[in-house]
Amino acid sequence: MPVFQPTKRGCVSSPTLPCARVIPAKAGIQNARVASKSLDPGLRRDDGCRGRLFCRSNLRFLFCLLLLVPLAGCGKKAPPVAPRAVTPGAVCEVSAQLDNGRVDLSWQADPCGEGGPAVRFRVFRCRRRIQGAPCPECPCSYSAVAVLDNSPPVDTPGRMRYADFVRPGFEYRYRVVPVGPGGRRGPESEIVRVPWPLEE
């Protein structure tokens, strides 16, 4: 059995090993710490971020996170959809009165029955001779004489008004058509007639 003999401090000798250095346990731990400090700085853990919010590695992570936030809202967007046009309701309570060469036409601003509110109104008029008409039974041809926004006067709340200056010897017929958003027309109102015969 080979016998190890100490030759100098920290070394033992044997027939096969000239000198084997013995490292105490405490010294081995200290040498391991020195070796870890001598490693590449890129491989060492940065303990300076421990307990700190705005260190370099944390700022780098926050910057990357901010770059990803706009990408989360990206994607294929659907084409814009036009608002659905609503047909306005019918005009009701249309009345007309002749007063000193002027026809005062009025009607209710709110729609009657089903349908949405009107944004404007179109007034149509037909004029026909009372005496000597070439074709009394022929249909009357209407033409637009006014376009009014749906804003009733202060003195007649809830009712629209229109004044039309006329001449004697004719019968005047009126009807009102509501117009909704997008220009969609509603049903025509009932026809009101205002005759103004010639004085004999």
Tell me which residue of 158, 150, 95 sits closest to 117, measured CA to CA. 150
Domain containing residue 125: CATH number: 2.60.40.10
User: For residues 179 and 88, is the Cβ–Cβ distance under 8 A?
Assistant: yes
B/e letters for 145-174, b = 16+ CB within 10 Å, e = fewer, are eeebebebeeeeeeebebebebeeebbbbb
Residue 79 lies in a domain: no
* Tally of domains within the chain: 2
| 35 & 112 share domain | no
Q: d(Cα 24, Cα 128) in Å, to the nearest integer? A: 128
Determine whether 142 is exposed, middle or buried from the number of CB atoms within 10 Å of its CB (0-12, 13-18, 19+): middle
| 100 & 188 share domain | yes
Residue 105 lies in a domain: yes
Residue 69 lies in a domain: no
B/e letters for 86-99, b = 16+ CB within 10 Å, e = fewer, are ebbbbbeebebeee
37-63 pLDDT tens trace: 444 444 444 445 555 555 666 677 777
Residue 102 lies in a domain: yes
Residue 52 lies in a domain: no
pLDDT band at 137 (very low <50, low <70, confident <90, very high): confident
pLDDT band at 66 (very low <50, low <70, confident <90, very high): confident
Residue 45 lies in a domain: no
Its domain, for residue 180, covers: 95-196
| 33 & 101 share domain | no
Determine whether 63 is exposed, middle or buried from the number of CB atoms within 10 Å of its CB (0-12, 13-18, 19+): exposed
| 192 & 99 share domain | yes
Residue 66 per-residue DSSP state: H
91-115 pLDDT tens trace: 999 999 999 999 999 999 999 888 8
| 32 & 99 share domain | no
Predicted structure pTM score:
0.57
